[in-house]
Amino acid sequence: MAMRQTPLTCSGHTRPVVDLAFSGITPYGYFLISACKDGKPMLRQGDTGDWIGTFLGHKGAVWGATLNTDATKAATAAADFTAKVWDAVSGDEVLTLAHKHIVKTVSFTQDSNCLLTGGNDKLLRIYDLSNPEAAPQEISGHTSAIKKALWCNNDKQILSAADDKTIRLWDRSSMEEVKTLKFDTSVSSMEYVTDGEILVITYGKSIAFYNALSLDLIKTVEAPATINSASLHPEKDFFVAGGEDFKLYKFDYGTKEELESYKGHFGPVHCVRFSPDGELYASGSEDGTLRLWQTAVGKTYGLWKCVLPDVSGEVKKPSGLTRRVLCK
């Protein structure tokens, strides 16, 4: 029986959703944070999309958002020239880190003690969260606004992507540039996969995979449309991508074959990420919504409950289950 992909739609934002991130798996499940131009980042239960809370305090569009591994802290980057650190349990603002221009990206170290930021002033900054009054370490080198910055190699190195059409690898201790990748067009997204040290990059219609330590190219896949974001499944069997044609594409990582494509959003897809258990992927769009998509369509998981017909052909709905999406 053919199963139809039925995404869960997460409403609440009033402007385009431009970034999202999952936490690691905690004793309470895993969590999802979204950044939106409405200036109100939201926290949700990762497997269901259920709203938990909204972080209130920014006075401009929020361009970047992240959670630490155990989902106790959140960080956001905004157009009000600040990055903020939040208590992700209480929702309280912990720190406001003033910048000189729009902040686009934030990233915690694995121990959550340091925060990396980047933005339109072309500088990378490293804040010691245990001593927030201290001046941050600054790394210069990019010649245009920084879009994304990430820790890699057990926080010994930093990866940054900017509008200067480069991705740069930096050494944390020396603060020096190790290697630069140059592209013909601006890089639209960057994902770092710790297991296997893989860097996933999108630019134009291309989805490229690099070794994150050496920046050697592994493979490139061409998509049917301009791609804004891509994410590799934790087991590296396949990857998903979304972009300007409103669709989500799923590709086989080994063969590069397009496996599926789904249309659900009513605007370009700005960001897509797999959940830490690989059971679903989340997408954020110009249409102001997040959608959760099943990796294995028809599997009972989260709010998805697969309902199969009995031998008489009638669909039997399980009793005692509410708010389930039927896979038919």
Q: Write down the pTM of the prediction.
A: 0.91
Share of the chain above pLDDT 70, in %: 93
pLDDT at 3: 76
320 falls within a domain: no
Whether residue 68 contacts residue 104, with contact meaning beta carbons closer than 8 Å, is answered with no
Q: What is the mean pLDDT of residues 8-23?
A: 97
75 falls within a domain: yes
110 falls within a domain: yes
DSSP secondary structure, 209-228, as one string: EEETTT--EEEEEE-SS-EE
Residue 300 banded pLDDT, cuts 50, 70, 90 = confident
- pLDDT, tens digit (0-9, with 9 covering 90-100), for 103-157: 999 999 999 999 999 999 999 999 999 998 899 999 999 999 999 999 999 999 9
SS3 of residue 9 by DSSP:
strand
- Residue 176's φ and ψ, nearest 5 degrees, are -100, 155
CATH number of the domain that 136 lies in?
Answer: 2.130.10.10
- pLDDT, tens digit (0-9, with 9 covering 90-100), for 149-171: 999 999 999 999 999 999 999 99
Task: List, in order, residues 6 or more apart from 128 with CB less than 8 Å away.
Answer: 113, 114, 134, 136
204 falls within a domain: yes
Residue 4 banded pLDDT, cuts 50, 70, 90 = confident
Looking at the structure of the chain, the number of domains it has is: 1
- pLDDT, tens digit (0-9, with 9 covering 90-100), for 172-227: 999 999 999 999 999 999 999 998 899 999 999 999 999 999 999 999 999 999 99
Whether residue 251 contacts residue 257, with contact meaning beta carbons closer than 8 Å, is answered with yes
303 falls within a domain: no
Domain of residue 138 covers 14-294
The span from the CA of 271 to the CA of 286, in Å, is: 10
1 falls within a domain: no
319 falls within a domain: no
262 falls within a domain: yes
CA–chain centroid gap for 254, Å, is 23
